[in-house]
Amino acid sequence: MPVRHLHPMFGFLKKSADAAPIVPIAPDMSNPAPSWRERLKTGLARTRAQLGGKFKSIFSRGKVDAELLEELEALLLTSDVGLEATRYLIEELQARARREKIETPESLQRALADALHELLQPLEQPLDVSARQPFIIMIAGVNGAGKTTSIGKLAKHFQAQGRSVLLAAGDTFRAAAREQLQVWGERNGVTVIAQESGDPAAVIFDAISAARARGIDIVLADTAGRLPTQAHLMEEIAKVRRVIRKADPSAPHETLLVLDANFGQNALAQVKTFDKAIEVTGLIVTKLDGTAKGGVLAAIARQCPKPIRYIGVGEGIDDLRPFTARDFVDAIFGSEDRDQRTDDRGQ
């Protein structure tokens, strides 16, 4: 398939040579920015209020009895933890209570936190982009999940690691998507490959060719939002994946599905359907700061486990970070940092 040469008006975006230099502003050390763990705890405030705060009330009796288990089951189910994960956590709590003779509210809550951590920990698999160059990441999701914004944040994240990035505006369906991605490209000083219209697979093919020619480390390929029930659109995104493989038989090296945490249990159906179409290899869970449904991560871990590569808890460009199970659980339960871990690991 020949490489398409894009029109200069909407093809490669470059910084203007006449642009005024950017003068960095010295940080105000008297009022330092909150750490990632602090932002995570703040971002998960609604989930913590739904779960963590109510756990204390449920565990106030200090013993595991039928009434406690019934209340705990209801709370977990209404927090989008899901039936299978709820059963698992309750059984684990019962087993730990018997084995360790737990009889205090604090110990019960700690036992549940540890059980949740063990459930989520296998999903903590940081993305390694060093295996290939260019490392091609295909990004999918439903409308409004935050795909394009996540791409902009990922570009900044990879640049902070010293890697070069190229963006492919493969969402040719939504008119504003291309412009939105170009804004992120300009903000990060990153090249964007785009067309005013046309086949999204062709745009991404061009981007891969350009990245290979320029020695770019990472290609982030956007795709149009679609619902899992739209069979023709699911076939279209499957075609995009097949075309990527024509450009590089080993690609895509990562297929990320962006999930809006507000969807709760509906996110499970999205994972299963997109996985069938494009073989999802990792997840980005966004908007955790705007929902009380953070418990859905437990449902994912139990019903359709996929590595959670990143989570988002805000609109800022630095509010998307690698998922760490212990930090996530501690933020829900309001736990203090137990072992003085480095705050911004994975950045």
Per the listing, tokens 């003068």 go with 23
Query: Which CATH fold topology does 135-323 show?
Result: Rossmann fold (3.40.50)
Backbone angles phi, psi at 102, to 5 degrees: -75, 130
> How many Å apart are CA 19 and CA 183, to the nearest integer?
16
E strand residue ranges, the chain: 135-141, 165-168, 191-193, 218-221, 254-260, 282-286, 308-312, 320-322
3-state SS, 54-94, equals: HHHHHHHHCCCCHHHHHHHHHHHHHCCCCHHHHHHHHHHHH
Region 69-87 average pLDDT: 93
> Is the backbone peptide bond immediately before 134 cis, with ω within 30 degrees of 0?
yes
The answer to whether 39 touches 319, Cβ cutoff 8 Å, is: yes
Residue 22 in this model has a pLDDT that exceeds 50 = no
As to burial, measured by CB atoms within 10 angstroms (0-12 exposed, 13-18 middle, 19+ buried), residue 206 is buried
Predicted confidence (pLDDT) per residue in 238-295, tens digit: 999 999 999 999 999 999 999 999 998 899 999 999 999 999 999 999 999 888 888 9
> How many Å apart are CA 293 and CA 48, to the nearest integer?
10
Residue 233 in this model has a pLDDT that exceeds 90 = no
The confidence score (pLDDT) of residue 6 equals 44
Residue 232 in this model has a pLDDT that exceeds 70 = yes
Pick from 153, 121, 128: which is nearest to 258 by CA? Answer: 153
The confidence score (pLDDT) of residue 228 equals 76
pTM of the model: 0.85
pLDDT bucket at 324, cuts 50 / 70 / 90: very high
Report the alpha-carbon angle 48-50-53, nearest 5. Answer: 65
Predicted confidence (pLDDT) per residue in 153-203, tens digit: 999 999 999 999 999 998 887 777 788 888 888 888 999 999 876 788 999
CATH 1.20.120.140: which residues of the chain?
36-123
pLDDT bucket at 13, cuts 50 / 70 / 90: very low
Q: Chain-wide mean pLDDT for the chain? A: 84
The answer to whether 244 touches 275, Cβ cutoff 8 Å, is: no
pLDDT bucket at 339, cuts 50 / 70 / 90: very low
pLDDT bucket at 48, cuts 50 / 70 / 90: confident
In the chain, % of residues over pLDDT 90? 54
CATH 3.40.50.300: which residues of the chain?
135-323
The answer to whether 166 touches 191, Cβ cutoff 8 Å, is: yes
Domain at 36-123: CATH architecture: Up-down Bundle (1.20)
The confidence score (pLDDT) of residue 20 equals 41
Residue 302 in this model has a pLDDT that exceeds 80 = yes
Name the β-bridge partners of 258: 141, 284
